[in-house]
Amino acid sequence: MRMTTLLTKTAKTAPAEADSANAKFLLQGGFVRQEAAGIYSWLPLGLRVLRNVERIIREEMDALGSQEILMPALHPKEPWVTTGRWDNVDILFKVLSQTKKEYALGASHEEIVTPLVGSFIRSYTDLPVSVYQIQTKFRDELRAKSGILRGREFQMKDMYSFHRTQEDLDAFYQKTLEAYLSVYRRCGVDAKVVEASGGIFTEKKSHEFQVITPAGEDRILACSECTFAQNSEISSLTETDPCPNCGKTLTITKGIEAGNIFDLGTKYSEPFKIEFTDEDGTRKAVLMGCYGIGVSRLVGTVVEASHDDRGIIWPKSIAPYAVHLVSLSSKDPAINERVMTASESLVDELKEAGIEVFWDDRTGVSAGEKFADADLLGIPLRIVISEKALAQGGAEWKLRAGGDARIVPVEGVAEEIAAWVEEK
């Protein structure tokens, strides 16, 4: 993608309303645009990141054997009345049609998915089964805040599983917990699993995934030695107590909730009468679990956990592009032509290797401005082709994550870049 063709332009400064690092850099870099408080458009660079995160999540959910579906955002009122959540969920947007029919905008999909999957369950041989979707959610938050972390409209992956026995549900729950940790790892952040309250979903067990970062809004009580961690909201312990697990020191750190999983038991299968015939002929209520990752929120979480004062530092796995080629133009037309010809050859060579480059092909823009944009946009590998680099027989290679710049010979640079891109 040539920068001179790209729809968006970076802004010199972040908008005044940016209340967090993710809002600041994503808005300033032109990844997203705010349409209203808590409501964003995803622009070309941001959408590429979102799609990369979606792809990772999809691969992990498919590997669990879950089947992808797509449920609507507009929900009839009746199933929300059946579960008692029509009146009890205050963040539920409600819509009245011309024909005076009431709908909810899906804040979650238990009311839709339970009868849906239930309609295909007759006997224990139909269990277990699990479905997921990557879809738009709506929540009427009193205060939207923290950029794309707490929005009124956002992208979510929600998965629902249906089981014959508690043991089977427990096993799937544990497999999903591990798949979630794999999602965060692959997206370049480390998450801690903490016990949490079930909120509006369940009174049974639930776990949150907390990405530890000082920008976090949740306070996590974690053991300095073992894996014990609890959300301080529901913990009866404090920082002065010994770890109940190993006796060592508990400390408070801050985290961003980046996913949660719930054992729903029969909370939803009972009101919808979703039962199966067991081997012995008896009818039993299906056990359910639900598992959510805010996909757009995860993009924001990565920015919170991976940036410096100049901009974003994207992990290669979800970066909009792996390679940012900066061509430094010169006032001397002959030099300019050499720089642009060398740049174009590199773009073509990498294209043949299946690598699309983000190319700053702008002329009349200073080196300082180009480097500042590269730091802001946060693409992991920056390659500079300039008069100076060419005079040294090569191109400048620099990682956004840190380390010194070095000159690599122009011959073979495409292969070297391709090898680096493929590296895990």
From candidates 17, 62, 63, 65, binder to a copy of itself by CB under 8 A: 65
Q: How many residues bind a copy of itself (CB under 8 A)?
A: 51
Is residue 80 close enough to count as binding a copy of itself by CB under 8 A? no
CA atoms within 13 A on the CB side of 290: 25
Contacts of 285 by beta carbon, 8 Å cutoff, 6+ apart: 266, 269, 270, 274, 275
The label of the residue with tokens 């974690």 reads: 222
Contacts of 145 by beta carbon, 8 Å cutoff, 6+ apart: 19, 20, 38
Taking the C-alpha atoms of residue 369 and residue 10, their distance in angstroms, rounded to an integer, is 10
Is residue 13 close enough to count as binding a copy of itself by CB under 8 A? no
Rank residues 211 and 379 by Cβ distance to a copy of itself and give the closer one: 379
Smallest gap from Cβ 280 to a copy of itself, in A, equals: 20
Rank residues 141 and 195 by Cβ distance to a copy of itself and give the closer one: 141
Nearest Cα to 288, choosing from 276, 303, 297, 277? 276
Q: Which residues does residue 256 pair with via DSSP β-bridges, in sequence order?
A: 211
* Whether the Cβ atoms of residue 339 and residue 345 lie closer than 8 Å to each other: no
Please identify, among the stretches 5-13, 181-189, 252-260, 321-329, the one whose residues bind a copy of itself according to the rule CB under 8 A: 5-13
Rank residues 99 and 240 by Cβ distance to a copy of itself and give the closer one: 99
Q: Cα torsion at 29, 297, 16, 371 (round to 10°)?
A: -20
Is residue 318 close enough to count as binding a copy of itself by CB under 8 A? no
Is residue 76 close enough to count as binding a copy of itself by CB under 8 A? yes
Taking the C-alpha atoms of residue 52 and residue 54, their distance in angstroms, rounded to an integer, is 5
Rank residues 351 and 406 by Cβ distance to a copy of itself and give the closer one: 351
Taking the C-alpha atoms of residue 193 and residue 420, their distance in angstroms, rounded to an integer, is 32
Strand arrangement, sheet containing 406-409: 358-360, 323-327, 381-385, 394-399, 406-409
* Whether the Cβ atoms of residue 288 and residue 266 lie closer than 8 Å to each other: yes
Smallest gap from Cβ 218 to a copy of itself, in A, equals: 23
Question: What letter represents residue 249's amino acid?
Answer: T
Strand extents, DSSP E, 224-322 = 229-231, 250-265, 275-277, 283-285, 287-294, 307-308, 311-312
Is residue 75 close enough to count as binding a copy of itself by CB under 8 A? yes
Smallest gap from Cβ 401 to a copy of itself, in A, equals: 28
Rank residues 255 and 300 by Cβ distance to a copy of itself and give the closer one: 300
Please identify, among the stretches 99-107, 243-251, 273-281, 375-383, the one whose residues bind a copy of itself according to the rule CB under 8 A: 99-107
Is residue 6 close enough to count as binding a copy of itself by CB under 8 A? yes
* Whether the Cβ atoms of residue 258 and residue 291 lie closer than 8 Å to each other: no
Rank residues 255 and 289 by Cβ distance to a copy of itself and give the closer one: 289
Rank residues 355 and 389 by Cβ distance to a copy of itself and give the closer one: 355
From candidates 71, 177, 193, 234, binder to a copy of itself by CB under 8 A: 71
Is residue 361 close enough to count as binding a copy of itself by CB under 8 A? no
The pattern of x and - marking residues 113 through 152 that bind a copy of itself according to CB under 8 A reads: ---xx-xx--------x-x----x-x-x-x---------x
Smallest gap from Cβ 29 to a copy of itself, in A, equals: 13
Is residue 41 close enough to count as binding a copy of itself by CB under 8 A? yes
From candidates 49, 107, 112, 148, binder to a copy of itself by CB under 8 A: 112
The label of the residue with tokens 């408070």 reads: 252
From candidates 63, 74, 171, 252, binder to a copy of itself by CB under 8 A: 74
Q: What are the φ and ψ backbone dihedral angles of 254, each rounded to 5 degrees? A: -105, 145
From candidates 17, 19, 59, 72, binder to a copy of itself by CB under 8 A: 72
Is residue 62 close enough to count as binding a copy of itself by CB under 8 A? no
Is residue 105 close enough to count as binding a copy of itself by CB under 8 A? yes
∠ at Cα 346 (342, 352), nearest 5°?
A: 145
With 0-12 / 13-18 / 19 or more C-beta atoms within 10 angstroms meaning exposed / middle / buried, residue 129 is: middle
Is residue 90 close enough to count as binding a copy of itself by CB under 8 A? yes
Give the chain's length: 424
Smallest gap from Cβ 258 to a copy of itself, in A, equals: 21
- Which residues are at the interface with a copy of itself (CB under 8 A)? 5-9, 30, 33, 35-36, 39-44, 47, 50, 65, 67-76, 90-91, 93-95, 97-99, 103, 105, 112, 116-117, 119-120, 129, 131, 136, 138, 140, 142, 152-153
